[in-house]
Amino acid sequence: MLLIFFLLIPATLFLGTKIPGRSYYITSTLMILELMVPFFMAFEGRKPQARELVLIAVMCALATVSRAVFAWLPNFKPIYGIIILSGIAFGAQAGFLVGALSAFASNFLFGQGPWTPWQMLAYGICGFIAGLCYYRKDKLPKDPLSLGLFGFITVLFVVCPLLDTSTVLTTLTVFTPTAVLSIYTTAILTNLIQASCTLVTLLLISKPLLAILMRIITKYGLY
């Protein structure tokens, strides 16, 4: 799974830039297949129940809706908070899947483009990191403030730099230090807004939503 996340998916992104035309549709489709095939293979190995797939689908829908509802407010989207909570509750693998698929689904509202595969990767890594850090690890604090700070740091220093890199690669025709630095510096305010939104989201909903998810997991013996 780690090889797929850190070798196959980046290789797909790189090869997608070499295909002329609207290659991002091909790249996005390949990434979804690369994500879903090992996901279902892993589930098949432990005889999954339909309720598990339904629960993850619900989290994907919730993350997509959370981005769409705030379409009127630029850069202020709670989607990262939902993705992080999915990773915490269901693990790194499911967190990555929720992030990647919600990015792809929500872009049918916000617009598909060459940025879509990068968003899928960045959103997915957000859930993946949350799962690695918090899934079944009781020693780490899971109070709203701790999760909010974790989300703020993850979005600001992992997710946003990936998205800024996609802007560099998809908009510049000539790469110069000045042009590259200009894109990264002008995105600082936007990145702070996104990270702050994640902080606020987790402060407000992490405790009740995690309680609901954990109650469902316990009741139905999931994960």
Convert the pLDDT of each residue in 142-168 to its tens digit.
899 999 999 999 999 999 998 998 888
Query: For position 9, what pLDDT does the model report?
Result: 76
217 pLDDT higher than 80 = yes
Alpha-carbon gap, residue 82 to 136, rounded angstroms: 18
Asked if 154 contacts 127 with a C-beta cutoff of 8 angstroms, the reply is no
Q: What is the mean pLDDT of the chain?
A: 85
17 with 166: CB under 8 angstroms? Answer: no
Q: Confidence class of residue 48 from pLDDT cuts 50, 70 and 90? A: low
Residue 197, CB-side half-sphere exposure with 13 Å CA sphere: 21
Mean pLDDT of the 58-73 span: 91
> 211 or 6: which carries more pLDDT confidence?
211
Check if the beta carbon of residue 43 is closer than 8 Å to that of residue 52. yes
The reply to whether the predicted model has a pTM over 0.75 is: yes
Position 38 confidence tier, pLDDT thresholds 50, 70, 90: confident
For 196-210, what is the mean pLDDT?
95
Task: Compare 168 and 193 and report the one with higher pLDDT.
Answer: 193
Asked whether the beta carbons of 76 and 38 are under 8 A apart, the reply is no
pLDDT digits (tens, 9 = 90+) for 123-143: 988 999 999 999 888 778 889
